[in-house]
A and B are shown apart, each in its own frame.
Chain A
Amino acid sequence: MTLATQDVRWGVGGLPLVDGVTLAVEPGRTLGLIGPNGSGKSSLLRLMARLRRVSSGVITLEDRDIASLSRRTFARRVAFVEQQATTDAALTVQDVVRLGRTPHRGALSPWNAADAAAVDTALAQVGMADRRDRLWHSLSGGERQRALIARALAQCPSELLLDEPTNHLDIRHQLEILALVQRLPVTSVVALHDLNLAALFCDRLAALHQGRLVCVGTPEEVLTPEVIFHVFGVRASVERSPRDGRLQVHFLLG
């Protein structure tokens, strides 16, 4: 068991944004969170990343309440990639990835071989080793996203949480990023907008609607016309591609 939520609730100003979600992530697999804007995907991820404190319920990592872990201990296990994170600082790709070693270093411990190795591995995993000296503001959207994923990987996490990592990327970069996430030897939870991409790259899906979990299961179980209509309010037909047997969602107009 890795991350799990039990009847988790959280909201802002009396408005519930996450409303009684119970969900267990399967080790080593990729879980996709789908749902319309405001359905609670980002909020749930932020709660799982311990960036917000649950109002009620409990989130566990290996059956331990994550609120009982120190921030540093938690950050060595679980890494989080924000949506659209950026900086004004003139940092190189390598500088950015080095930041991921923060939870592994004390205030006085010098940069060591293990840190350097973790950074090199992370850069290689995302295919940015040849661009490690490039400056952040010279990177394309896809390169930035990869640098941020490398930063998260430099934490050497066993769980990786990603909030809409494909937002504002062109289709080629969307495919590249998600294929990368799928390949990584970690448990990942990914919030996604695009249902076809979710079907393509996730082992399991969880559909959220108004802060509640509607259903969770394999893409075949979750991506049905009924669930899509209930969650998104859109009529759709779901077919298997004659080419490779994968699920394809077609949206019906009118």
Chain B
Amino acid sequence: MTSWPLASARPILVVTLALAGLVLSIALAASIGEMTIPLDVIAKTVGNRLFGTTHTLNRIQEGVVWDYRLSRAVVAACCGGALAVSGVILQALLRNPLAEPYVLGISAGASTGAVLVMIVGVGGGAVTLSGGAFAGALAAIGLVGLLALGSGGGSDRVLLAGVAGSQLFNAMTSFIVATAANAEQARGVLFWLLGNLGGVRWPDVWLALPVALIGFVVAMLHARALDAFAFGADAAAAMGVSVTRVRVVLFALTAAMTAAMVGIVGSIGFVGLVIPHAVRFLVGHRHARLLPAALVVGAVFLVLADILSRVLVAQQVLPVGVVTALFGAPAFALILFRARHAR
């Protein structure tokens, strides 16, 4: 009766295939661009940099692969994976299929923080754009958290508080852009708001990678608790889950993961909403399978979206959020349509 294509497949096979897919997509991301670089050059570059091999390579090609494309692809993978895992967690905790990482006001807060740094000049140059976005995201989470607790703390209250917080911070962002920005700055803000992997370098990887992996491990430790939320918080509590502790830990976790990613690449929509649904369709509802699948599929999706954003329009890089939405929305529609027939 169950109709998830991968639900009964051998886990070891699925994991191997998924990791192979991830490595391949990152290799493609390093290969494709204005200058196409053969895959063997990429393998040799990685060998030279990580494993001490001494292949002779074109220095420019090696530089492009290592300094720009690989760091960018790895951050895209971390970001996609973390957003998808956050989406899975929030949809389970809030029992709402529309929940996604930005529902807690995170992206709105981050955008306010970013424009304060970018346009108003808060911090006088000492605060980076990422730092401002991260601070803004934390401020929004704090405000939404207080609102949610003050109104009783149920999952619908968390969502409503998130909507209220998002509206407030979006209004503040618009206010700042409308009153203080020139045309050039407004364009920069728009690009950033739609997600921008352009400035990503290795130091960003050393933030994004640990955040994504630690977040994933903590989420996996709560996989059974998340399963128990299927029938609501009271049912979870009746089955021995410490509901308050689990909620606090996992909300804080998704907030930290999302804020870190938004700080690095801006707010990329749709990954946190769509990937969990797509993955559920593939592997079913058990979180011990769902979380790793979301991590990998989210990662591959965003790496591929980034490749498309660089090649779709010649001589121009699209904001990656535009690509995720352009391809995510029809894919989502297809999933909904097929899910209806699967019932």
To the question of whether A and B form a pair in one complex, the answer is: yes
Q: A82-B234, A133-B1 are in contact. Are A75 and B239 (CB under 8 A)?
A: yes
Q: CB distance B237 to A71 under 8 Å?
A: yes
Q: How far is the CB of A59 from chain B (nearest CB, A)?
A: 15
Q: CB distance B240 to A87 under 8 Å?
A: no
What A residues does B237 contact at CB under 8 A? 50-51, 71
Across the two chains, which residue of chain B brings its CB closest to A72? B240
Q: A95-B286, A137-B343 are in contact. Are A85 and B232 (CB under 8 A)?
A: yes
The one of B2, B224, B238 in contact with A75, judged by C-beta atoms closer than 8 angstroms, is B238
- Binary contact track B197-223/A, C-beta < 8 Å → 1, others 0: 000000000000000000000000111
What A residues does B97 contact at CB under 8 A? 88
Q: Which of B97, B224, B240, B241 has the most chain A CB atoms inside 10 A of its CB?
A: B240
Residues 135-152 of A at the B interface (beta carbon under 8 Å): 135, 137-138, 148
B: interface residue count bin: 20 to 34
| Interface contact tally, CB-CB below 8 A | 80
Across the two chains, which residue of chain A brings its CB closest to B281? A90
Residues 211-254 of A at the B interface (beta carbon under 8 Å): none
- Rounded to whole angstroms, the CA-CA distance of A159 and B285 in the bound complex is 29
Q: How far is the CB of B69 from chain A (nearest CB, A)?
A: 38
Q: How far is the CB of B271 from chain A (nearest CB, A)?
A: 21
Q: Which of B97, B222, B230, B232 has the most chain A CB atoms inside 10 A of its CB?
A: B230
- Rounded to whole angstroms, the CA-CA distance of A223 and B143 in the bound complex is 54
Q: How far is the CB of B40 from chain A (nearest CB, A)?
A: 41
- Rounded to whole angstroms, the CA-CA distance of A80 and B231 in the bound complex is 12
B95 contacts the other chain (Cβ, under 8 Å)? yes
B284 contacts the other chain (Cβ, under 8 Å)? yes
Q: CB distance A92 to B238 under 8 Å?
A: no
- Rounded to whole angstroms, the CA-CA distance of A155 and B239 in the bound complex is 8
Across the two chains, which residue of chain B brings its CB closest to A105? B224
Q: How far is the CB of A58 from chain B (nearest CB, A)?
A: 19
- Binary contact track A85-124/B, C-beta < 8 Å → 1, others 0: 1111111100110011011010110000000000000000
A41 contacts the other chain (Cβ, under 8 Å)? no
A: interface residue count bin: 35 or more
What A residues does B53 contact at CB under 8 A? none
Q: CB distance A100 to B239 under 8 Å?
A: yes
Q: CB distance A87 to B239 under 8 Å?
A: no
B115 contacts the other chain (Cβ, under 8 Å)? no
Q: CB distance B239 to A134 under 8 Å?
A: no
B262 contacts the other chain (Cβ, under 8 Å)? no
Q: CB distance B242 to A71 under 8 Å?
A: yes
The one of A49, A85, A92, A107 in contact with B2, judged by C-beta atoms closer than 8 angstroms, is A92
What A residues does B224 contact at CB under 8 A? 102, 105, 107
Q: A88-B97, A92-B1, A133-B2 are in contact. Are A99 and B238 (CB under 8 A)?
A: no
Q: A105-B224, A137-B343 are in contact. Are A91 and B239 (CB under 8 A)?
A: no
Q: CB distance A103 to B239 under 8 Å?
A: yes
Q: CB distance A91 to B230 under 8 Å?
A: yes
Q: CB distance B240 to A99 under 8 Å?
A: no
- Rounded to whole angstroms, the CA-CA distance of A96 and B225 in the bound complex is 13
Residues 217-263 of B at the A interface (beta carbon under 8 Å): 221-225, 227-228, 230-232, 234-235, 237-242
Q: Can you give 22 A-B contacts (C-beta < 8 A)?
A: A76-B240, A79-B238, A82-B231, A82-B232, A85-B232, A87-B230, A87-B231, A89-B285, A91-B230, A92-B1, A92-B2, A99-B228, A102-B225, A102-B228, A102-B241, A107-B223, A108-B221, A135-B1, A135-B2, A135-B343, A148-B231, A155-B239
Give B residues with C-beta under 8 Å from A: 1-2, 95, 97, 221-225, 227-228, 230-232, 234-235, 237-242, 280, 284-286, 343
Given contacts A92-B2, A95-B285, A100-B239, 6 further A-B contacts (CB under 8 A): A73-B240, A85-B231, A87-B231, A107-B223, A135-B1, A155-B240
